[in-house]
Structure 1
Amino acid sequence: MQTRQLRGFLFDLHGVLADSWQYHLASWQTIAQELHIPWTDQLAEILPGMSREDSLTAILASVDRQSEFTSNQRLRLTNHENDLYRQYVAALTPANCLPGVTAFLDELVAAEYPMALASASANAPAEIAHLGLTKYFPQIVPAENLRASKPAPDVYLAAAALIHQHPEDCVAFEDTVTGVRSAKAAGCFTVGINVKDLPQADAMLASTRELSLSAVQQALGQLSV
């Protein structure tokens, strides 16, 4: 692989730093039950990485009911899901960080690499605080400023700008197909973290336990930076 510059690290939140997608899924499952829509394995598989609006659309489309709701009704439903999810966020602790994450972040800090959180979630600052990761992420993309959610590149372009780096010189970490598409569209070298292959990812790790600076450098085709 051609050697690339390595100047910054950009992180998705859900499924990369913490296993918090399970709480979004639990919230959406509650919404589906309230709407008398069957919850399926397919929904559980496709929702991670989607925006709140797209998640609701997918749930309604699973039973061909997307035309039944006005924009105001849809907004109430997405706000309801967010309220449910925030109850889970309030219960997060550093113990919810995925294995190996804090050790890897410490390694990047020691090597003086800038980092930013590339999450489109408006709850991201609160989640990072509850997880005890605020010191690593003084730079968090303001979700309210994004014009488009993943798989659009907006969040990664914004994250790279926060640390004053070109996206092409940044490594992005993602755990979903949607997230990988977003990072790649921005031009980032993208590491997928998933037991399943994520198309378009430049490199794959089965879990966060495999995270290390040397592993990233090896994937980039360089032994030192």
Structure 2
Amino acid sequence: MIDCCIFDLDGVVVDTARYHYLAWAALARELGFEFTPVQGEATKGVSRMASLEIVLRAGGLEGRFSAAERERLAAEKNARYLRFVSQMTPAEVLPGVAAFLHDVRSRGVRTVLGSASKNAGTILDRCGLRPLFDAVVDGNEVSRAKPDPEVFLKGAAAVDAAPSVCVVFEDAAAGIEAASRAGMRSVGVGGGASLSAATMRLETFAGFTFEQLAMKIDRD
């Protein structure tokens, strides 16, 4: 039985992962090293400060900055990212996502956004998606990064849904682990091998229906 679908944002609903990477890569170049797309994969689904630690570690700079300096670096990255986000339009919603959200909601199933991003609300508004979610839990409301299950448990609580009837849609291994730790089933979105622990895999939402989800999840 599925009563609630919880969606990560970056790489699941919209393709903002590339904007995060570009902003982190620009910061890394300012610090004197290159941050590669492969290294950038580790920042997916991770909080801003945890992502900064990943970037600094990649450049051999861990332990080089005070807490205040780390906050400044994270703020610089976020300013770059927001410049990208401010130009987003509904055309950047990933294929099939809006149709799937409408389908889910037509069945009386609640929809929740559960994201580490502190800019989730801005992105939803820019892309015209906010009316398609019953609740939004983002990085402004959680203190523990995935794979801690906090964001998903708060998302379920926001719509009074038990974890056992929630399905999480994620594109990162940390998010799949967080869903499991929350006692929820999961859908790994995209082709990454790191999503093998998900209850089911989904290449794209294009053409995907709630009925297909229910059949697959219930069978597994």
Q: Is the 8 A contact 2:134 2:159 kept in 1?
A: no
Aligned to 2:188: 192
1:58 paired residue among 54, 57, 68: 54
Aligned to 2:95: 99
> Which consecutive residues of structure 2, in runs of 5 or more, have no partner in the other structure?
none
What amino acid is the match of 1:112?
G
1:129 paired residue among 122, 125, 128: 125
Looking at structure 2, the residues matched to 214 and 173 of structure 1 have their Cα atoms a distance apart, in angstroms, of: 16
1:168 paired residue among 164, 178, 195: 164
Report the alpha carbon displacement of residue 143 of structure 1 after superposing the two structures with TM: 2.6
TM-score (norm 2): 0.94
Distance 1:41 1:26, change over 3 A: closer
Structure 1 runs (4+) deviating above 6 angstroms are none
Matches within 5 A, 1:1-225: 5-197=1-193, 198-221=195-218
Looking at structure 1, the residues matched to 165 and 35 of structure 2 have their Cα atoms a distance apart, in angstroms, of: 41
What amino acid is the match of 2:65?
F
> Which consecutive residues of structure 1, in runs of 5 or more, have no partner in the other structure?
none
Report the alpha carbon displacement of residue 111 of structure 1 after superposing the two structures with TM: 1.1
Identical counterparts, % of pairs: 32
- Pairwise CA RMSD: 1.3
Looking at structure 2, the residues matched to 86 and 26 of structure 1 have their Cα atoms a distance apart, in angstroms, of: 12
Looking at structure 1, the residues matched to 183 and 139 of structure 2 have their Cα atoms a distance apart, in angstroms, of: 20
Looking at structure 1, the residues matched to 190 and 180 of structure 2 have their Cα atoms a distance apart, in angstroms, of: 16
TM-score (norm 1): 0.92
Aligned residues: 218
Looking at structure 2, the residues matched to 122 and 63 of structure 1 have their Cα atoms a distance apart, in angstroms, of: 25
Instruction: Give the stretch that moved more between structures: 6-15 or 39-48.
Output: 39-48
Q: Deviations over 1:163-210 (max 9, x none)?
A: 110111111100111111111111111000111231320000112225
